[in-house]
Amino acid sequence: MFEVLVSDPSQVAEARRRASAAAAEAGFGEVTAGQAALVATELSSNLIKHGGGGRLVIGPGNRSLDLLAIDKGRGMADVQACMADGYSTAGTRGQGLGAVQRLAQSVDVASTPGAGTVVWARLVAADDNDAEGLAEHIHRPPVLRNAGVWAVQVPMPGEDVCGDGWGWHEDDAGRTVFVVDGLGHGTEAALAANAALAEFRRCADASPAEIVDAVHHGIRHTRGGAVAAARIDWNSATVSFTGLGNIAGVLLLPSGQTRRMVSLNGTAGHNARKVQSFEYPCPDNALMVMHSDGIGTGWSGERYTPLLWRHPMLLAGALYRDFSRGRDDATVVVCGTGRP
Ligand SMILES: [Mn+2]
């Protein structure tokens, strides 16, 4: 995942080009890559027109492409009207969010007057998208918000590789999320993060304390890093969390309250005086956030309460927008706490 700053119209073409290249990298054919380029163009143009500039985060996956347009502009007064605009005139260009809605498999938007807008669009490398089927997916995030784990992850400006990593595991009883921040940034940090992720994958069905312990012992040959693992248990409605170093774990509750989970001091791979798990009650309609220290910790839940009911990617985007320090790799992972 990487970002393109879009603060003047000349940068729209750059955003389009990078999105198109990312789509090709993700396995898109010519037609769907063209659609991805068009969506990137519309989102970027919107950033200029309505956002006073912003950034387009581009995330190529395995035959999927996430596009996240983030701004701190005046916000859209009427998201529904913006979405509807152009929806019925499929096939033409310049239809703004209508075109995005028509071409993407999933779309969600959160716009707060005065605070800005986050638009997420996911495209898939198939061209059987039709507007009929699409309507099923749009604006029903309460149904979708528990499906999967979502993240915004952007390397430090000037770096090609990211020294953070994240992964997740799910079984019948719950979901485990893992985040690592390799010490520093750049190639060596990325090596540490990749080693930690490989270790996590080997023992993803173990408890958070066992995972963190295994990672600590498994990445001694690297420069090490901060790690945390969280296990959401759907049956008992609890989360157990084990952190070593500066990975934040936060539950955002429907009341707007935030519950910050405890990480102990240390560096996985080098220094772990204590690996301990803490348990928290967790209703099934909360969001769990985990982030690296490229994101500041000074955020409060009340400000983001409306995002609780949207797709998790929107909260990830908003936190990245509002609290990225801009001088480190940044990772924000968000998922719903309920059973999918
Ligand atoms: Mn960091």
Q: Are 260 and 315 in contact (CB under 8 A)?
A: no
**What are the angstrom distances between the C-alpha of 125 and each of 2, 100, 103, 128?**
19, 15, 11, 9
The CA distances from residue 330 to 178, 238, 270, in Å, are 15, 27, 22
What distance in angstroms lies between residue 183's CA and the mean position of ligand 1's atoms?
A: 7
What is the SS3 assignment for the chain? CEEEEECCCHHHHHHHHHHHHHHHHCCCCHHHHHHHHHHHHHHHHHHHHHHCCEEEEEEECCCEEEEEEEECCCCCCCHHHHHHCCCCCCCCCCCCHHHHHHHCCEEEEEEECCCEEEEEEEEECCCCCCHHHHHCCCCCHHHHCCCCCEEEEECCCCCCCCCEEEEEEECCCEEEEEEEEECCCCHHHHHHHHHHHHHHHHCCCCCHHHHHHHHHHHCCCCCCEEEEEEEEECCCCEEEEEEECCCEEEEECCCCCEEEECCECCEECCECCCCCCEEEECCCCCEEEEECCCECCCCCCHHHHHHHHCCHHHHHHHHHHHHECCCCCEEEEEEECCCC
CATH of domain 2-139: 3.30.565.10
What pLDDT is recorded for position 52? 87
* pLDDT score at 135: 39
* Residue-wise burial string across 27-47, b where 16 or more C-beta atoms lie within 10 A, e elsewhere: bbeeebbebbbbbbbbbbbbb
Does the domain made of 150-336 have the CATH classification 3.60.40.10? yes
pLDDT one-digit tens code per residue, 207-225: 999 999 999 999 999 999 9
- pLDDT given at position 50: 82
What is the residue extent of each domain of the chain?
Answer: 2-139, 150-336
Give the per-residue pLDDT at 8.
Answer: 92
Residue 314 CA to ligand 1 center (angstroms) comes to: 22
- How far, in Å, from the CA of 291 to the mean position of ligand 1? 10
Q: How far is the CA of 136 from the centre of ligand 1 (A)?
A: 39
Report the separation in Å between the CA atom of 298 and the middle of ligand 1, taken as the mean of its atom positions: 16
User: What is the Å distance from ligand 1's center to 307 Cα?
Assistant: 25
- pLDDT attached to residue 79: 65
Ligand 1 centroid to Cα of residue 157, in Å, is 13
Q: What is the mean pLDDT of each run of 10 residues along the chain (340 residues)?
A: 94 96 94 93 91 94 95 75 47 61 88 87 72 41 78 95 97 98 96 98 98 98 98 98 97 93 96 94 96 93 88 96 94 96
pLDDT at 83: 62
Query: Ligand 1 being an ion, which residues bring their Cβ within 5 A of it?
Result: 181, 293, 328
